[in-house]
Amino acid sequence: MSRRSDTSKPSSGNPAGRYGKPVKSRPNPLDEADITYIDYKDTDLLRRFLSDRGKIRSRRVTRVSAQQQRRLARAIKNAREMGLLPYASR
């Protein structure tokens, strides 16, 4: 078995790539606000993690950790069940 040589361009080690403009990572909004417990009754907080259509935003968009995303999803679903948040909006 022979190895195929990779002739693609080598990646530089920085997240900016080859153009040199550094990419700033956004901070975690829950850690920044020092929020440890996510309450389903806190609809102002939960609405920040919903799209305009009422969908739960992804971790990639909101920059929360996996554990925080699971807790947010559970709190949003509980709030929807209690009638505090809409399932969908137009």
Tens digits of pLDDT across the chain (90 residues): 666 665 666 555 666 667 777 777 888 999 999 999 999 999 999 999 999 999 999 999 999 999 999 999 999 999 999 999 999 877
What is the homologous superfamily of the domain 29-82 according to CATH? Answer: Ribosomal protein S18 (4.10.640.10)
In whole angstroms, give the CA distance from residue 84 to residue 50: 13
Q: What is the pTM of this model?
A: 0.72
> Is residue 46 within 8 Å of 72, Cβ to Cβ?
yes
